[in-house]
Structure formats: structure tokens, C-alpha cells
Amino acid sequence: MTETADVVVVGGGVVGTSAAYHLAAAGAGRVLLLEREDALGTGSTGSCAGGFRHQFSSEINIRLSLASVPMILSFQEMHGIPLDVHQDGYLFLVRSEASWRSFVAAAELQRGLGVDARLLEPEEAGALAPGVSLDGMIGATFCSDDGIADPSGLTAGYATIARGAGAELRTGVEVRAILMDGARVTGVETTGGPVSTGVVVNAAGPWAGLVAKTCGIVLPLEPVPRNVVVTGPFPGAPDRKTLVVDADTSFYFHREGPGVLMGMGSPSERASFDTTVDEALVANELVPTAVRVFPPLERAGIARMWAGLYEMTPDRHPIIGPVPDPAGLYLACGFSGHGFQHAPIVGKLLAEMIVEGQARTVDVSGLSLERFARGDLAREGHVV
């Protein structure tokens, strides 16, 4: 007999596990999450720096954070599962006039939505992150409600409460194709056999485009490798876990163990699924920028490095919601490097859409796949 489920979630990262929990808790029926790797959270989620912030340039991203960050902060208390969370703020250092105009406008938008975003003089930024270079700095923005949390812990936590709410989470099973009958989803073909279902949530992270293609849907989504470097201890390592971002280079760091965790984008980055660390980029771009922005790093040694995939859309916003055809297929992908922090609310919104027929908590109708065909794109400017 063919196995059946009311909802199949493809992908066991932080988004898929959050979706599985919220769906099961909302009464979606038999929820089956399928993850092709032998463990959950080994995709983008396993490479993630763990930052959460309200300091975005687009209203929808700010609204998603306003709904999602409290879910991260209250996770331990709500669900009784330990989660490592530090709310020491995000500090953006701005060194060009063009960026400063954009950060001032974004801070105004954030404040209008109730976010405590502050504009700082360079000296105030230096006091918050002792040791950062003030050279050429025009100003900085800071929000003390931003912070970092443990992505693997949140994923494992959602997996535990999803199982508790009755969902089944199965690893080592790859979804090969989404099956359709005319204009409706009828199931998925997997390495473990077919599963009959009327609803599929595509939460396959950077691979979501490959999953969608099996039923003829083209997603404007590119995997972009990003390198992360963790240092050993060094004199001048920050005490606080404030996430510091050099806005014009996108270089960022935060305290990690006795050293820092750091990374940055690069004008030379290209779409690829390859997660081999780009040692030339680390040596020629990341490390020199790191030392320029935070000179104490000159005396740091590298303890470990890895690379993971951002899942980039053209407007740097996620794709959330149902596709018109085939009916029953929901997308939760394309988070463009900020999906960890939005995973809690996105899981809840998917449950609202699927169980109640529409998203209630945040209006994400502007994040549908159709926006790309309409050309209705407003770009998130603050991608870290």
C-alpha cells in the first residue's frame, strides 16, 4: 500500500522543522518531514552564523523579524528546551555617504515600526565594540534587541516539539519528484518509495529550485557559497557577543568561544553548490578586510573554517506561500542569507496558510513567486 500523509515537508533544516512543528500543532493532520541527509540541520542551517536582527531595509523583513525574534527569545521558556541566545545587538559600521543615507532611511523605517534602532557617532560605535577601526567611519546604527542564537539548537528543538505534536521526521530519504495530477499535487516520489499527499512544502533551502523543477516550477534562486572563519583566542577579542558588520564590505564578526566567528560576501562570488572553503578568497579578501575593520585580529590564528550556501533571490527576499499551479505546493525558500531568524514565523505562517487558508500573523502576500513574473521587486539592501 502507498504511504499517505496530509502534508509532506521537503527538507529538515530550521525552516522545515519549524514548519513541521507548526503544522502538526495547528492540526494539519499527518505531517511527514523528509530529509535526504542522515541528520537534520546539515544544509545551510548547519553553516549559519546564528544572527537575528530587526535592522533590515525592507518593511516586510522588519515585520518578519518583529514576529520571529520573540519566538526565538521565548523558545526555551515556551517549550522547555534549552536554546543558547545572546541579545547583545547588531552594530553596523558605515563608511560611505551612499550607505549612510540608506542606513539612516532604514533606521527611520525601523523606528516607525517600533524598532529601537539608534544612529551612533563613530566614537559611540567604538565604545560598543572596542578595537574596531574608526577610520573613515561616518556613523553607525545599533539595535540592542538584535542578537545571535544557536541554529542547530533551534532546529533540534523544533524537531523535538514537532515529534511531540505528532509529526514524523524521517532522515535518509530524498524526494526525487513532486507528483501531480493535472493542476494538483498528488504526492512525492522518494528514495523510500512514493508518498501520497495533497500538500507539499518545499523547504529544501538552496536545493529548493531542484525540487520545484521536478513539477515544472522554475524558481529564481541561486546557491551562493559563503566562507566562515573562526579564530582562536587573541588579545583584544570582544567580551560581548554583539554582531558587528562593516556595512560597505559586508564583513561581520561576533564573539565565538575564546575568539571570533567572521565572514563576508565578495564581489567575485558566483552561484555554485560547491562548499569547499575558498582559501584564496579567505587569504586575499576576508583576512585583510578583517584586520582593517578590527585590527586586534592581526594577532589571531585561524581555528577552523567552513563554507555554506546562501539561497539568493534577485530581490534578496524569501519566496513564501502557495504557487497557483500545481495547487497544494507551498514554497518556503530563497531566504538570501537571513532564513534562520525568520524560520520560526515562517513555519507558523505556513501552518496558517495550509490549515486556515491564509496567513494571519504577517501579510506575506508580497513574497509570492508571482512577484518575479510581475517584476514587482523591491530589493533588501542590507544583506550581510
Ligand X SMILES: Cc1cc2nc3c(=O)[nH]c(=O)nc-3n(C[C@H](O)[C@H](O)[C@H](O)COP(=O)(O)OP(=O)(O)OC[C@H]3O[C@@H](n4cnc5c(N)ncnc54)[C@H](O)[C@@H]3O)c2cc1C
Sign of CA dihedral 23, 25, 31, 33: positive
Nearer to ligand X, 184 or 213 (CB): 213
Per CB under 6 A, 189 contacts ligand X: no
Per CB under 6 A, 159 contacts ligand X: no
Nearer to ligand X, 42 or 249 (CB): 42
Residue 348 CA to residue 364 CA, distance in Å, equals: 12
Per CB under 6 A, 91 contacts ligand X: no
Amino acid letter, 248: D
Nearer to ligand X, 122 or 322 (CB): 322
Residue 236 CA to residue 239 CA, distance in Å, equals: 9
CB atoms within 10 A of CB 164: 13
Distance (Å) of CA 79 to CA 21, 64, 178: 12, 21, 33
Nearer to ligand X, 55 or 122 (CB): 55
* Least CB distance to ligand X at residue 121 (A): 26
Nearer to ligand X, 238 or 263 (CB): 263
Per CB under 6 A, 73 contacts ligand X: no
Look up residue 250 and give its three cell numbers. Answer: 559586508
Which of positions 9-38 make contact with ligand X (CB under 6 A)? Answer: 10-16, 34-37
* Least CB distance to ligand X at residue 214 (A): 8
Considering only 7, 32, 47, 222, the residue that binds ligand X (CB under 6 A) is 47
Look up residue 245 and give its three cell numbers. Answer: 558588520
Per CB under 6 A, 174 contacts ligand X: yes
Q: What is the DSSP string of 68-127?
A: HHHHHHTHHHHH-----EE---EEEEE-SHHHHHHHHHHHHHHHHTT--EEEE-HHHHHH
Which of positions 303-342 make contact with ligand X (CB under 6 A)? Answer: 308-310, 333, 335, 337-341
C-alpha 196: how far from chain center: 30
Per CB under 6 A, 85 contacts ligand X: no
Tell me the residue length of the chain: 384
Considering only 147, 153, 206, 328, the residue that binds ligand X (CB under 6 A) is 206
Catalog residues that contact ligand X under the rule CB under 6 A: 10-16, 34-37, 42-45, 47-51, 174-175, 203-207, 211, 226, 228, 263, 308-310, 333, 335, 337-341
